[in-house]
Structure 1
C-alpha cells in the first residue's frame, strides 16, 4: 500500500475523529507494539536449602520488581551437578502447581545442578523431563516448537516455559550479572558482532553461514568475520560466536551490557570441573548471556545457538531469554545461562509533526501492523490502515495525517525473521 493511498484512507476514515480532536494541533502516537516478556511474566525458582540461591533470588526479585507471587520455593540438597529424573519430577510438580498461569518463563537461581539425567536443567524445566530431548549417540533430538517463532507467550502457546539459570560461582558474581542485565535495558548499544572462524574444523561448523549473516546484519549492527582462534582487546563486544574447546583472552575484551557470547563445543555447559572451558567464563568476562552443552551433543549446529536467529530476535527488542531460546532448534542437551530479562534493544522513537508520523527502532519486528486512531487518548480506537513490515525495517513513515491519537498494533499474521 503506497503512502499516498494510506494518507487518503486516513483522511477519509478520520473525519469524525478529527472533529472530536480539534484541540490537537497535530497527530500524537500513543503506543507502538514491541515484543518482549516483562517481569510479571517471569517465575523465579529458589532452592530454600541453598543459602546462595535464596540470596540471589532476593536480590533479583528486588532489582527486577518480580511479583511476590512469582517467587517459587523448592527444596533439594545443593552442590551436585545432576538431579535424578525422579527427584526432578517431584520438584517440577511442585513448581507447576505453584506457578501463576501468567508466568511464561522461568529463572533458576543456582548454578548447580545444571543437569537432569541426560537433559540440561533449563530444558527440563521448560519441557519437563523427556528422553526425546536427549541423544544416546550422535543423533538429532526432539525439536523445540519455540524455535525461531514469533510467539510472545510460550506457555500460552505451547505449554512450555523457556528457562534460564542465573548461574554464577558466587552470590557476588550473580549480582554483577543481574546489574549488567539491568544496565542493558533500552541502551541500544553501538556494539559489534564478532563471528569467529576458527582452525578447529569440527567446532567451526557455524562459520559456513557467516558470509550471508554479515550481509544481512551489517546495515543494523557492525558485523565482523574474524578468521582466527583469538579475539583480543576489543572494546565493543555485543555478540561473540566461536567454536573451540577453550577461548583465550576473553578478559582482554570489553563486553557491553546485555552482550551474548558462546563457544560451540561438547561440554561448555559442564559449569564446574569439566575438561573444556565452562560457559561461566563468558559471564565472568562480562557477558550477560551464554550457552553450553551439558552432555555430548556432537557438532550439530542446530543443537547450538544459530547466530542469525538470536541476533535478529534480540535486535527486535526481545529479552535475552526469548532471543536465545528461539535460536536453538534442539535445546535438550544445552543450558542457557544469564540474566533473562536483559533487553538492550527495546524501545522505539516516535515523531509526529506537520510532515506526518514516523516510528523507528533498532529493528522493527516484522509482521502486519494495524494503524489505529482515536479522537482521545483513551479511545475508542479503530483501524484505519494496515502496514506490512519486512525484516530489516528500521523506520515506518506515514504521510500527513489528520490530528488524532494513533497507535500501532502488531497482528498475529507475521513475516518470519531470518
Structure 2
C-alpha cells in the first residue's frame, strides 16, 4: 500500500443542501455549524425528494455544483438521504465519474474505473477533476445529528492505549462471501493501533471496540450488540444495500442500518452489480487507507475501483488516525 498524502478537511469540503427537503435543511445547517464549513462552500438548491433523479435533474445538479463551488473544494457532503441514485447509477458515483448509461442495460458488466482508487494525494479535484462525495444519510434528523457527533468525536482519537478491532467476517453465503479472499490475515497491527480478526459468522466473538466490520450477507443480524468506536466503517456485500429505503424484512438490509446501529460510514450498491469484488470496498485498501490518517470519505473512495453503482454514506470528515499537531 503506497503512502497517502494529507487529507481533505472542512476548509476543502463542499456542502450541498436540498432546500425542498426539511431533513436536508436541518441536517445541512447543523453540519455546516458543527464542522465549520465555509459559507462560500455551502450550496443551497431545490431537488426532488425521492430515491432517484432523472438524467436531466442530475445534469442540472451537476451544473450547479460546477458553477457555484470553486476549485478549492475537493470533496462533497450531500445533506440528504434521498435521492441516492441517478436512474441505475449511485448519485455519488455519477457526481464523481459522470453518468454511465450502459449500466442500466447491463448492471453486471464492468463499470468505469475510478482514478481515485490509486490516487495518492489530497487534492482530487485539482489533480483528477473529480470530487469524492458522501451522503449525510439517516432516518431522522436526530439520528443524523448523532452521526455527525460520532464523526467529530472520532477525530484524532486513535491509536489509543487499547487497540481498535477490525472484523472481516466470512459467511456461508457463497455468492456474497467472494470478498473473503481479500480479507487481511488475522494479525496484531499494534504499530498502527489495530488488531485484525477474521472470524466466521457462526462463530463471532463479542465485537468490542469495533472500527471496521465487513461481511457478505443479505441481512446482518446482531448490529445492536456491536461495540462501535466513533468513526467506525461497516458494510456488507449484497446487491441492494445502497437502496437506502430498504428494510431488513424486504430481504436485503440497507446500508443505512449500519449507521442507525452506530457506525459512522458505510457503502452499498443501488442497482444489481452482480458480485464483482471491484464494485465493493476492498478490505485491505480500506483498512490501510484509514489508518494512514485519511477521512472516512477518502478511505472509502480509495477502496472501490468501480463505484458507479455504489453510494457512500456517513460523516465524511471522520478521521480517527489523523495526526495530532
TM-score by length of 2: 0.92
- Cα gap change, 1:304 to 1:289, in 2 (>3 Å): same
Would the alpha carbon gap of residues 135 and 179 (structure 1) be closer, same or farther in structure 2, given more than 3 Å must change? farther
How big is the shift at 1:124?
1.4
SS for the counterpart of 2:307 is: coil
| SS of equivalent residue, structure 2 residue 117 | coil
* Structure with higher strand content: 1
Aligned to 1:41: 12
RMSD value, Cα: 1.8
**Aligned residue among 251, 275, 294 for 2:224:** 251
Bigger radius of gyration, 1 or 2?
A: 1
Superposed counterparts of 1:59-78, under 5 Å: 59-78=30-49
Within 1, Cα distance between the matches of 2:187 and 2:231? 23
Equivalent residue number for residue 406 of structure 1: none
2:207 is matched with which residue?
234
- 1:103 equivalent to 2:76? Answer no
Deviations 1:354-412 (A, max 9, x none): xxxxxxxxxxxxxxxxxxxxxxxxxxxxxxxxxxxxxxxxxxxxxxxxxxxxxxxxxxx
- Residues 222 and 216 of structure 1: CA distance in aligned 2, closer, same or farther (over 3 Å): closer
1:207 aligns with 2:180: yes
Deviates more, 1:179-188 or 1:140-149: 140-149
Q: How far is the alpha carbon of 1:38 from its aligned partner? A: 1.0
| 2:233 corresponds to | 260
Residue 76 of structure 1: CA displacement? 1.9
Contact 1:247 1:277 (C-alpha < 8 Å) held by counterparts:
yes
Question: Deviation string for 1:270-290 (max 9, x for gaps)?
Answer: 111353100011001110010
Instruction: Give me the whole-angstrom Cα distance separating, in 1, the residues matched to 2:204 and 2:137.
Output: 24
Distance 1:89 1:281 in 2: 30
- Report the CA distance between 1:90 and its aligned residue: 1.1
Q: In structure 1, what is the equivalent of residue 109 of structure 2? A: 139
Q: Which residue of 2 aligns with 1:25?
A: none
- The answer on 1:295 being equivalent to 2:301 is no
Aligned residues: 315
Paired position in structure 2 for 1:169? 139
Alignment-derived partner of residue 394 in structure 1: none
TM-score for both structures, normalised by structure 1: 0.72
Give me the whole-angstrom Cα distance separating, in 1, the residues matched to 2:298 and 2:188: 21
Decide whether aligned partners of structure 1 residues 133 and 315 sit closer, same or farther in structure 2, where only a CA change above 3 A counts: farther
Residues 144 and 134 of structure 1: CA distance in aligned 2, closer, same or farther (over 3 Å) = farther
Paired residue for 2:300? 324
Q: Is 1:90 matched up with 2:63? A: no
Partner of 2:126: 156
> How has the CA–CA distance of structure 1 residues 138 and 166 changed in structure 2, closer, same or farther, with 3 Å as cutoff?
same
Does 1:197 find its partner at 2:167?
Answer: no
| Per-residue deviation, 1:36 | 1.0
SS at match of 2:16: strand
